[in-house]
Copies of this chain bind each other. A is one copy, B any other.
Amino acid sequence: MALISDKTVGRLSLYRRILQEVLGGTKEYLFSHELAQYAGVTAAQVRRDIMAIGYAGSPSRGYNIRELLASLDQFIDPAEKQYAVLVGVGNLGRAILSYFAQRRLKIAIQAAFDNDPAKVNRVINNCRCYHLSSLQQIVRENQITVGIISVPPEAAREVADEMVKAGIKGILNFAHVRLRLPRDVWVENIDMATALEKVSYFARQNLG
């Protein structure tokens, strides 16, 4: 299969979620323009993206939803369950743990880490919390590939370096710094405070 871009993977994941949560169960077939409407893209974009994973609908009936979901699952999900670790079990970290525990994705958070003795060796939101000093060992032993960073910004880069040394290949970063990572480590940044500040800034402009 050809290399599929960052943005395409994001859209395919969104299409799947829309099919599962909004359109799934309501009918058997759907057209690209229906999916496009919920995803906020053009119908041509939907067709190109779905073509890229080797699936095609019928011009007269559109996509068979069950088959399309199976193709999306095969593309997006790991063959076996994949595991992640989370570092930083503060307010945000706990929220992330409970959010993902509830969503039952094919990727699960297997262990959490913190350096606060009050959290270590406890089970927090269904996830065991270890001391940060055992990160390398646990990641290696369990061949964990994904790391989630929810520590304060001044600690984020050190945590990312530890993750990379342990063999982590993808990081979801909630800290407000950009990480510097080797080329073979993928990063996605989520910055909720910046997003809210942007929304409030433009809301004020739009009041005009």
Which residues of A pack against B, CB within 8 Å? 6, 9-10, 13-14, 17-18, 21-22, 37-41, 76, 78, 82, 84, 91-92, 94-96, 98-100, 102-103, 105-107, 145-146, 148, 152-154, 168-172, 176-180, 184-188, 190-207
From B17, B185, B203, A206 is in contact (CB under 8 Å) with: B185
How far does the Cβ of A39 sit from chain B's closest Cβ, in whole Å? Answer: 6
How far does the Cβ of A110 sit from chain B's closest Cβ, in whole Å? Answer: 13
The answer to whether B103 touches A99, judged by C-beta atoms less than 8 angstroms apart, is no
The answer to whether A176 touches B145, judged by C-beta atoms less than 8 angstroms apart, is no
| Residues of B contacting A91 in the complex (Cβ-Cβ under 8 angstroms) | 98-99, 102
The answer to whether A197 touches B146, judged by C-beta atoms less than 8 angstroms apart, is no
**Given A176-B17, A195-B188, A196-B84, also A203-B145 (CB < 8 A):** yes
From B21, B96, B102, B170, A200 is in contact (CB under 8 Å) with: B170
The answer to whether B99 touches A204, judged by C-beta atoms less than 8 angstroms apart, is no
Between A and B, 5 residue pairs with Cβ closer than 8 Å are: A17-B153, A94-B95, A107-B196, A188-B198, A190-B192
The answer to whether A200 touches B6, judged by C-beta atoms less than 8 angstroms apart, is no
Each complex incorporates copies of this chain amounting to 2
| Residues of B contacting A98 in the complex (Cβ-Cβ under 8 angstroms) | 91, 95
The answer to whether B201 touches A18, judged by C-beta atoms less than 8 angstroms apart, is no
Complex: how many Å from CA A17 to CA B156? 14
Complex: how many Å from CA A145 to CA B206? 9
The answer to whether A186 touches B202, judged by C-beta atoms less than 8 angstroms apart, is yes
The answer to whether B21 touches A192, judged by C-beta atoms less than 8 angstroms apart, is no
Complex: how many Å from CA A92 to CA B82? 23
How far does the Cβ of A6 sit from chain B's closest Cβ, in whole Å? Answer: 7
**Given A95-B98, A195-B172, also A200-B107 (CB < 8 A):** yes
| Residues of B contacting A178 in the complex (Cβ-Cβ under 8 angstroms) | 14, 38-41
The answer to whether B198 touches A10, judged by C-beta atoms less than 8 angstroms apart, is yes
